[in-house]
């Protein structure tokens, strides 16, 4: 809406003033002072409405003098004969000045409101773009470009915190030629900003200054101190440092209040954009892991099948040879069993490590767990003594656990005890409820765990020094036991047994008996 | 099918394992029929009317569960499954689908022969084990027909639910019944926590029938799968 140039406006309104003055001076005798004042006022208002404050004030001043000189006697001088005319003259001056001011302020408000509306529109478009952009980095490029153009600077970069370092994710504009040779990219200062989460500037003379949060507030003088060429703004998403916004210009960066507010809003977008890039990367990585995991599972299933089937043949053939009196064939059969067990253990360990062991925690009886473990141990107990210790008259001990996995934990602990204790000693298993836990203690008279190795024994493939190479197992038993126990809210712990030996305690969450309607079912 | 010798059908795609099984079973005086695919196996089961089917799960053409179901549609021939997978879920699924026993690879030949013999013996003892004479195990006497249980000559009182449960297990002597099978037979409709009920009732039964519930000899747990009654405690 500005087809007329500023000079044209000035000329036009001055001409209007001259013509009006001439016209009125011709009719001076017929006109009242009020008519003159009113006509001049109309001119002043018209001038300030179209030409702004400067035109309005100039017209008011000129009108004041011509009113005084031409229309208040004595004519041709600035003197005023009738003292009451001063009142008219001053009233005119004050009215026109106040009117000009009011009019202009209203206009400025309108302009500012329009600007703000424009910014909001731009922000909303940008927001939509940010959310829509197929590739997360494209949204950041759009944000960088909007910031660059809105602030009218040469370049805008968005850098993201990636691990220990900063990576340039998006850029708009070119590095100002004069400054690129200097160290005005301010890498060190940018890292500092990322580390501390505070804004900073670098000036044309390479000095830098740190600001504080809230620098965007209207009237904050920080940004206006000196010839600022680089402005660094930390990007925070949910109070977490995610990156840095770097703005560079070949001349001094000056931001008026609206631009600052705009920059603050845009830095939120930039922070969210950076966060989105990070989340996309995380999601992609998770998907890659998932695929790798699915592949691993398929591989494991195939391997276990393809390994166990030939092992069956090997075992059967070895058995036939052994039946024919071949002593070596018996070893082949045993080794085939060991290998099979090792495969199972490795599979379990990989499942536990991947947190993929299926757990069915249900109401189960402690005696069931002990009985099933005993059944599973089968032949291993033929020549060894396992004594189960339960307090006399103990009620039915119940817990919430996965029976299958708990059997494996207990079997592993008992097997360990059998393996590491002399063949003529008894292994004891005590079962008791302790508060809200069921405790299964496996006690042996073996050598115990060497001092300082308490925490090592749960490491896969750990075996105490001096273990016979044919002790069986590969040192996975305790690692698996602990993994399986913890996956169902239980624990496995070791203590030295008084009088020599080990106590391994397997704890599980205890439970109370359910109420059953069949009243005669009580024991 | 000469003079009543048992016929066993082996369905396995591995020729070596088939040969090994055949050698072991023939030594026990059993007639062996072989099939290398599921389809072939189902056909052979129809044709040869075996007393037992040994079914490998790694068949190229069909899922083992499908073979079980197909056979079960018209036959109650016991099925012994061989599997390389050691998962309780799979075992449960197979038992629910009608398999009678389950052996994991790598198995030992003696173990397999024992299982085959047990299945064949059970087939011969049909229709209902203990249907006529009471079952006697150690100091326990279970008279299924008259619903009487005696321990050391003294009558043991069982609640109706406990009796139903025991009856179901005893009439399937030696065979694991899954939690689901037991629950459907004894309680019918599922309500509340079926697993919890079942476990508590088994615990009660053990306290009434076993010397040491921590070392049961009759009511055995097949962890993660179900329970079985075993009138031959030596087969532990």
- What is the Cα–Cα distance from B40 to B104, expressed in whole angstroms? 23
Q: Which class in CATH covers the domain with range B7-124?
A: alpha beta
Based on the domain organization, do A272 and A292 belong to the same domain?
no
Contact check, Cβ <8 Å, B106/A363 = no
Say how many C-beta atoms besides its own lie within 10 A of residue A298's C-beta: 10
Reading the block at residue B121, the tokens are: 């013996």
Contact at 8 Å (CB) between B21 and B80?
A: no
Q: How far is CA A373 from the centre of its chain?
A: 47
pLDDT exceeds 70 at position B98: yes
**B203–A518 CB contact, under 8 Å:** no
* Chain A: residue whose CA lies nearest to B209: A523
A419 contacts: CB under 8 Å, gap ≥ 6: A471, A472, A473
Instruction: Mark whether A266 and A324 lie in a shared domain.
Output: no
Q: Do A523 and B223 touch (CB under 8 A)?
A: no
* Pairing of the two strands A491-496 and A502-511: antiparallel
In a domain, A1, yes or no: no
* Angle subtended by helix axes A83-132 and A33-51, to nearest 10: 20
Q: Which of A370, A374, A513 sits opposite B200 (nearest CB)?
A: A513
pTM metric for this prediction: 0.61
- Residues B186-203 have a mean pLDDT of 77
Among B17, B159, B214, select the one facing A371 at the smallest CB separation. Answer: B214
Q: Do B192 and A365 touch (CB under 8 A)?
A: no
Q: Are A82 and A146 members of one domain? A: no
pLDDT digits (tens, 9 = 90+) for B119-167: 888 877 655 554 567 888 888 888 888 888 999 889 999 998 899 999 9
Domain coverage including residue A33? 6-119
- In chain B, domain spans: 7-124, 135-235
Record: contact A404-B224, CB cut-off 8 A: yes
Q: Kindly state whether residues A467 and A389 are assigned to the same domain.
A: yes
Could you tell me if residue A427 is inside a domain? yes
Q: Do the domain assignments include residue A374?
A: yes
Indicate if A80 and A157 belong to the same structural domain: no
Q: What is the DSSP letter of A516?
A: -
Partners of residue A514 in chain B, C-beta under 8 Å: 192-193, 196-197, 200
Cβ–Cβ gap B160/A518 under 8 Å: yes
Q: How many CB pairs under 8 A join A and B?
A: 127
Task: Please write down the long-range contacts of B31-37, taking CB distance under 8 Å and 24 or more positions apart.
Answer: B31/B1, B31/B2, B31/B5, B31/B6, B31/B7, B32/B7, B32/B8, B33/B7, B33/B8, B33/B9, B34/B9, B34/B10, B35/B9, B35/B10, B35/B11, B36/B11, B36/B12, B37/B11, B37/B13, B37/B61, B37/B62
Give the pairing type, strands A200-203 and A228-237.
Answer: antiparallel
Last residue within a domain, chosen from A71, A86, A119: A119
Residues in chain A: 523
Provide the domain count of chain A: 4
Predicted confidence at residue A403, as pLDDT, reads 92
Minimum-distance CB partner of A368 among B24, B106, B199? B199
Q: Distances in Å between the alpha carbon of B103 and those of A242, A418, B117, B169?
A: 57, 26, 14, 20
Instruction: Using DSSP bridges, classify how beta strands B7-11 and B31-35 pair: parallel, antiparallel or unpaired.
Output: parallel
The ipTM is: 0.84
For residue A203, tell me if it sits in a domain: yes
Q: Is A124 part of a structural domain of the chain?
A: no
Q: What is the pLDDT of residues B26-83, one digit of tens each?
A: 988 899 999 999 999 999 999 989 999 999 987 888 888 899 999 988 888 899 999 8
A375 min Cα distance to partner chain B (Å): 7
Select the residue of B196, B201, B220 nearest A375 (Cβ to Cβ): B220
Q: Which residues of chain A are within 8 Å of residue B160 when distances are taken between CB atoms? A: 518
Same domain assignment for residues A266 and A139: yes
Question: Would the CB atoms of B108 and A375 count as touching at under 8 Å?
Answer: no
pLDDT of A405 reads: 92
pLDDT at A19: 93
Q: Do A432 and A462 lie in a common domain?
A: yes
Cβ distance B196 to A514 less than 8 Å, yes or no, reads yes
Residue A129 domain-assigned?
no
Distance CA A517, CA B192 (A): 11
Question: Which of A312, A374, A392 should one mutate to test binding to chain B, selecting the residue with the greatest count of B CBs within 10 A?
Answer: A312
Residue A290 Cα to chain centre, angstroms? 21
Partners of residue A344 in chain B, C-beta under 8 Å: 86
- For residue B134, the 8-state DSSP code is P
A202 plus A228 within the same structural domain: yes
CATH (domain of A223)? 3.30.450.40
pLDDT in tens, chain A (523 residues): 445 677 888 999 999 999 999 998 888 888 888 888 888 989 998 888 888 888 888 998 999 898 888 888 888 888 888 888 888 888 888 998 898 889 888 888 888 888 778 777 777 777 777 667 667 778 888 888 888 888 888 889 999 888 778 888 888 887 665 554 445 557 788 888 888 888 888 888 888 888 887 777 777 778 777 888 889 999 988 888 889 999 988 888 888 777 888 888 888 888 888 888 888 888 888 888 888 877 876 777 677 777 888 888 888 888 888 888 888 888 888 888 888 888 888 878 877 877 777 788 888 999 999 999 998 888 788 888 899 999 877 788 999 999 999 999 999 999 989 988 898 999 999 999 999 999 999 999 988 888 878 888 888 777 776 665 555 566 788 889 999 999 999 999 999 999 889 999 999 999 987 766 554 444 4
Helix (H, G, I), strand (E, B) or coil at A102: helix
Q: Find chain B residues with C-beta within 8 A of A364's C-beta.
A: 199
- The answer to whether A316 contacts B17, with C-beta atoms less than 8 Å apart, is yes
Phi, psi of B166 (to 5 degrees): -65, -45
Q: Which residues of B touch A371 (CB under 8 A)?
A: 213-216, 220-221
Contacts of A513 in chain B (CB under 8 A): 200
Cα nearest neighbour of A398 on chain B = B200
Q: Look at residues A50, A47, A49, A70 and name the one whose alpha carbon lies nearest to residue A60.
A: A47
Q: How far away is chain A from the Cα of B37, in angstroms, using its nearest Cα? A: 16
Residue A44 contacts residue A63 (beta carbons within 8 Å):
yes
- For residues A179 and A298, membership in a common domain is answered with no
Q: What sign does the CA torsion over B99, B100, B104, B109 have? A: negative
Q: Which residues of B touch A391 (CB under 8 A)?
A: none
Chain B residue with CA closest to A386: the answer is B215
* Residue A72: inside a domain: yes
State how far residue B220 is from chain A, nearest Cα, in angstroms.
Answer: 8
Distance of residue B130 Cα from the nearest chain A Cα, in angstroms: 25
Subunit contact A308:B106, Cβ cutoff 8 A: yes
Which of A310, A334, A353 represents a domain boundary (last residue)? A353
Q: State the residue for tokens 């370049």.
A: A155
Residues A85 and A52 in one domain: yes
* CA separation for the pair A85, A62 (Å, rounded): 17
Q: Judge: A514–B86 Cβ closer than 8 Å, yes or no.
A: no
Going by the DSSP 8-state scheme, the letter that residue A450 receives in this structure is P
- CATH code for the domain of A371: 3.30.565.10
Same domain, A203 and A157: yes
Domain-located, residue A250: yes
For testing the chain B interface, which of A302, A367, A511, A517 should be mutated: the one with the most B CBs within 10 Å? A367
> What are the chain A neighbours of B14 within 8 Å (beta carbons)?
309, 313
CB contact under 8 A, B105 and A314: no
Are residues B17 and A313, on separate chains, in Cβ contact within 8 Å? yes
CA distance B137 to chain A (A): 19
**Crossing angle between the packed helical segments A477-487 and A403-420, to the nearest 10 degrees:** 150
Domain boundary among A255, A280, A305: A280
> What separation in angstroms does the CA of A383 have from each of A447, A472, B117, B233?
20, 17, 27, 18
Domain over B135-235 is classified CATH 1.10.10.10: yes
State the Cα–Cα distance between residues A420 and A416, nearest whole angstrom.
Answer: 6
- Per CB-CB distance under 8 Å, the chain B contacts of A315 are 106-109
Q: Are residues A497 and A368 in the same domain?
A: yes
What is the pLDDT, as a whole number, of residue B236? 37
């Amino acid at each position: 809406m500005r087809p007329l140039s500023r000079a044209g406006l000035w000329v036009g309104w001055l001409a209007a003033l001259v013509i009006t003055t001439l016209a009125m001076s011709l009719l001076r005798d017929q006109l009242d002072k009020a008519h003159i004042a009113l006509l001049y006022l109309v001119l002043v208002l018209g001038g300030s409405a179209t030409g702004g404050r400067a035109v309005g004030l100039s017209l008011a001043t000129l009108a004041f003098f011509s009113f005084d000189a031409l229309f208040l006697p004595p004519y041709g001088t600035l003197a005023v004969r009738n003292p009451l005319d001063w009142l008219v003259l001053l009233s005119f001056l004050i009215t026109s000045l106040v009117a000009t001011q009011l009019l202009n302020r209203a206009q400025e408000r309108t302009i500012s409101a329009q600007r703000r509306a424009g910014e909001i529109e731009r922000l909303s478009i940008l927001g939509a773009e940010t959310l829509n952009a197929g590739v997360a980095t494209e949204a950041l490029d759009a944000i960088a470009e909007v910031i660059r153009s809105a602030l009218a600077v040469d370049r805008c970069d968005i850098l993201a915190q990636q691990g220990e370092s900063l990576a340039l994710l998006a850029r708009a504009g070119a590095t100002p030629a004069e400054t690129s040779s200097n160290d005005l990219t301010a890498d060190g200062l940018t890292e500092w900003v990322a580390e501390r989460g505070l804004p900073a500037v670098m000036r044309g003379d390479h000095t830098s200054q740190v600001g504080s949060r809230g620098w965007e507030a209207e009237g904050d003088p920080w940004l206006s101190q000196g010839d600022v060429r680089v402005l660094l703004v930390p990007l925070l998403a949910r109070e977490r440092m995610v990156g840095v916004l770097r703005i560079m210009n070949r001349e001094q960066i000056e931001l008026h209040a609206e631009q600052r507010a705009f920059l603050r809003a845009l830095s939120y977008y930039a922070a969210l954009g950076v966060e989105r890039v990070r989340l996309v990367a995380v999601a992609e990585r998770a998907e890659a892991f998932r695929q790798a995991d699915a592949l691993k599972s398929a591989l494991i299933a195939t391997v276990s099948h393809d390994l166990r089937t030939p092992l069956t043949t090997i075992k059967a053939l070895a058995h036939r040879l052994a039946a024919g009196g071949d002593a070596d064939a018996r070893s082949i059969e045993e080794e085939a069993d060991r290998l099979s067990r090792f495969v199972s253990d490795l599979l379990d360990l990989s499942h536990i490590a991947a947190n993929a062991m299926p757990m069915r925690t249900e109401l189960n009886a402690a005696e069931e767990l002990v009985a099933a473990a005993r059944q599973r141990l089968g032949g291993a107990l033929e020549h060894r003594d396992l004594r189960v210790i339960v307090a006399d008259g103990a009620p039915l001990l119940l817990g919430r656990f996965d029976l299958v996995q708990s059997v494996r934990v207990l079997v592993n602990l008992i097997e360990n005890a059998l393996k590491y204790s002399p063949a003529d000693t008894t292994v004891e298993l005590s079962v008791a409820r302790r508060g809200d836990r069921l405790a299964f203690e496996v006690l042996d008279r073996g050598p115990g765990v060497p001092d300082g190795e308490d925490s090592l024994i749960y490491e896969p493939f750990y075996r105490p020094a001096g273990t016979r190479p044919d002790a069986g197992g590969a040192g996975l038993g305790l690692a698996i036991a602990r993994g399986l126990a913890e996956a169902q809210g239980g624990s496995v712990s070791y203590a030295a047994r008084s009088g020599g030996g080990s106590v391994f305690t397997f704890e599980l969450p205890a439970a109370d008996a359910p109420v059953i309607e069949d009243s005669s079912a009580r024991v | 099918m000469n003079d009543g010798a048992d016929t066993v059908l082996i369905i396995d795609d591995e020729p070596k394992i088939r040969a090994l099984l055949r050698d072991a079973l023939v030594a026990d005086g059993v007639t062996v029929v072989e099939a290398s695919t599921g389809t072939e196996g189902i056909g052979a089961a129809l044709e040869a009317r075996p007393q037992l089917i040994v079914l490998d799960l790694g068949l190229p053409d069909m899922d083992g569960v499908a073979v079980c179901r197909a056979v079960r549609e018209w036959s109650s021939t016991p099925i012994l499954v061989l599997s390389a997978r050691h998962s309780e879920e799979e075992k449960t699924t197979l038992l629910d689908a009608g398999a009678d026993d389950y052996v994991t690879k790598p198995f030992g030949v003696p173990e397999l022969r024992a299982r085959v013999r047990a299945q064949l013996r059970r087939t011969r003892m049909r229709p209902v084990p203990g249907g006529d004479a009471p079952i006697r195990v150690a100091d326990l006497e279970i008279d299924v027909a008259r619903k009487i249980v005696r321990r050391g000559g003294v009558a043991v009182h069982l609640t109706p639910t406990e009796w139903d449960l025991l009856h179901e297990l005893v009439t399937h002597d030696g065979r694991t019944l899954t939690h689901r099978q037991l629950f459907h037979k004894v309680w019918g409709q599922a309500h509340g926590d079926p697993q919890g009920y079942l476990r508590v009732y088994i615990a009660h039964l053990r306290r009434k029938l076993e010397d040491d519930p921590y070392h049961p000899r009759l009511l055995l747990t097949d962890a993660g799968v179900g329970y079985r009654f075993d009138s031959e405690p030596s087969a532990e």
